[in-house]
A and B are shown apart, each in its own frame.
Chain A
Amino acid sequence: MVSWVHALPSLTAAFLASLVEFVEALTVVLAVGTVRGWRPALCGTGLALGTLALLVLALGPALTRIPLDYVQLGVGLLLLLFGLRWLRKAILRAAGVIALHDEEAAYAGETALLKSYGSVRDPRWDAVAIATSFKIVMLEGTEVVFIVIAVGTAGGLLVPAGVGAGAALLVVVLLGLVLHRPLAKVPENALKFAVGVLLAAFGTFWLGEGIGVDWPGADWSVLGLVAWFLLVALGGVRLSRARRQAALAMAD
């Protein structure tokens, strides 16, 4: 029986993280489809999804053969590094230290780049378009696969994590089909902030399990870790903003 204490945070983390990744992939696939045609855009996307599926089928069973302690340690460490990377960037963006990610600007940049390659010579095989959509789906998809495996494997929660990622894909595909434009209104940094908090908390928990720490409250401590990293990150935004203003004032 799956515990909701673990299943809900796993599902939420996989959904939110995948949502961010799929939104970024959609922007580029939309640009490819609009400039070079939908056939190569969807062909590249399909090829990447097929490759990712093969990767999951090859890696998934191999992971189950590794002793749980090692899986927890390895996955926990990678998840922690992944989460801290997201959280660091989200804190710096929220504090105004680095610029926010702009989907409209990314779409315009990608569109201009694709136009610069000139007209399509062979509409049946547009290598530039196929390679561009393949690369972005592969890149963002690899992150989604990692997140699903990482938040799912260590706790035996691959199904809830997979459901979360699948729901995110469905939401983004439906919105893409309806709107036909980049999802610029998605509060991407707020999502990255939330995902960073969740992944850092999960990573710390599984890393701790792997090195043999004794978490007070056992599995419930995941919720405590989420609250702790949220508090630290919010404090980090305030302190970083103040530090930034002081540094700029000194430089003037």
Chain B
Amino acid sequence: MKTVVTILRELVGLFVDDGSLAAGALIWAVICGWGLPLLGLGPRAQAALLVLGLAALLLENTLRASSRVRRGE
């Protein structure tokens, strides 16, 4: 059981380092794929918003990580 949990953890670790970035990218993909067409936005707008949103998520995440200062630093 312990080995299975370790393998699963390693497998998830391949794709997820910071949970909030992975969750944000997933949610944004769902919004761009299924939410934006409901608002009447076309495939070109979907493409632009997908790219811009992912970049914003990455930048927000790295900046948030950069602001964290541990004791002794």
Complex interface bits, A215-252 against B, C-beta within 8 A gives 1, otherwise 0 = 11000010001001100110110011101100110110
The A-B contact count (CB < 8 A) is 122
Q: Given the complex, which residues of B lie within 8 Å of A211, measured CB to CB?
A: 29, 32-34, 46, 50
Of the listed stretches A57-65, A80-88, A114-122, A177-185, name the one at the interface; the rest are far from the partner chain.
A80-88
Q: Does more than half of chain A's interface fall in helix, strand or loop, or is it mixed?
A: helix
Q: Given the complex, which residues of A lie within 8 Å of B32, measured CB to CB?
A: 211, 213
Contact B42 A214 (CB under 8 A): yes
CA distance A69 to B44 in the complex (A): 18
Q: Does A32 contact B (CB under 8 A)?
A: no
Instruction: Give the B interface residue count (CB, 8 A).
Output: 36
A225-B51 contact in complex given A211-B46, A239-B59, C-beta closer than 8 Å: yes
Q: Given the complex, which residues of B lie within 8 Å of A212, measured CB to CB?
A: 33, 43, 46
CA distance A139 to B18 in the complex (A): 19
Which of under 10, 10 to 19, 20 to 34, or 35 or more describes the interface residues of A?
35 or more
Q: Does B69 contact A (CB under 8 A)?
A: yes
Closest to A246 in B: B67
Complex interface bits, B5-20 against A, C-beta within 8 A gives 1, otherwise 0 = 0000011001111100
Partner of B67, one of A85, A200, A225, A247: A247
Q: Does A146 contact B (CB under 8 A)?
A: yes
Q: Given the complex, which residues of B lie within 8 Å of A247, measured CB to CB?
A: 66-69
A142-B33 contact in complex given A80-B25, A213-B50, A236-B59, C-beta closer than 8 Å: no
In B52-73, the 8 Å CB interface with A consists of: 54-55, 57-59, 61-63, 65-69, 73
Nearest CB of B to A146, in Å: 7
Q: Given the complex, which residues of B lie within 8 Å of A250, measured CB to CB?
A: 69
Q: Given the complex, which residues of A lie within 8 Å of B43, measured CB to CB?
A: 212-214
